Structure 1
Amino acid sequence: MSDTDPAGDPRADDVLARRAGLGDREAFAAIVDRHGPALARYAGRLLDDRDQVDDCLQDTFLAAWRGLPGFRGDASLRTWLFTLARHAAFARLRRWPASGSRPFVPVEEVVDQLRDLRADPERTSVESALRQALDVALRLLPPRQRTAWLLREVEDLSYAEIATVLGTSTAAVRGLLERARTTLSDALEEWR
Structure 2
Amino acid sequence: MSRFRTKYPPRPLRFLHCPTGGKEARSRHTGKANPLTPSISRIHDADLELAAAVLKRDRKATARLIELHADAVHRYVWRRLTPKVDLVDDIVQDVFVAAWRGLPGYSGEASLQTWLVSIARNKVEDYYRRTLAAPLESLEQDEDAPLLASSVNLDANLEQSRQEERAAKILSGIPYEYATALRWRYWEGRTAREMAAATGRTEKAVERLLARARAKFKSRWEETA
TM-score of the two chains, using structure 2 as the length reference: 0.45
1:84 counterpart (119, 136, 155): 119
1:132 counterpart (141, 144, 165): 165
Instruction: Give the Å deviation of 1:54.
Output: 1.2
2:60 counterpart (4, 20, 26): 26
Any conservation in 1 of the 2:73–2:117 contact (CA below 8 Å)? yes
Residue identity (%): 37
Instruction: Give the Å deviation of 1:12.
Output: 3.3
State the distance in 2 between where 1:190 and 1:97 align.
27
Any conservation in 1 of the 2:44–2:110 contact (CA below 8 Å)? no
Instruction: Describe the shift of the 1:10–1:102 C-alpha distance in structure 2 as closer, same or farther (beyond 3 A).
Output: farther
Any conservation in 2 of the 1:13–1:77 contact (CA below 8 Å)? yes
Instruction: Describe the shift of the 1:191–1:97 C-alpha distance in structure 2 as closer, same or farther (beyond 3 A).
Output: closer
Instruction: Describe the shift of the 1:86–1:65 C-alpha distance in structure 2 as closer, same or farther (beyond 3 A).
Output: same
Q: Which has the higher helix share?
A: 1
Instruction: Give the Å deviation of 1:91.
Output: 0.5
1:37 equivalenced with 2:71 (yes/no): yes
Correspondence 1:110-125 to 2 at 5 A: none
Any conservation in 2 of the 1:39–1:57 contact (CA below 8 Å)? yes
Instruction: Give the Å deviation of 1:51.
Output: 2.8
2:183 alignment partner AA: P
Instruction: Give the Å deviation of 1:70.
Output: 2.7
Determine which structure has more spread, i.e. the larger CA radius of gyration.
2
- Two-structure CA RMSD over aligned residues (Å): 3.7
Instruction: Describe the shift of the 1:99–1:22 C-alpha distance in structure 2 as closer, same or farther (beyond 3 A).
Output: same
Aligned residue pairs: how many?
A: 127
Correspondence 1:50-129 to 2 at 5 A: 50-99=85-134
Correspondence 1:177-188 to 2 at 5 A: none
TM-score of the two chains, using structure 1 as the length reference: 0.52
1:146 counterpart (155, 176, 187): 187
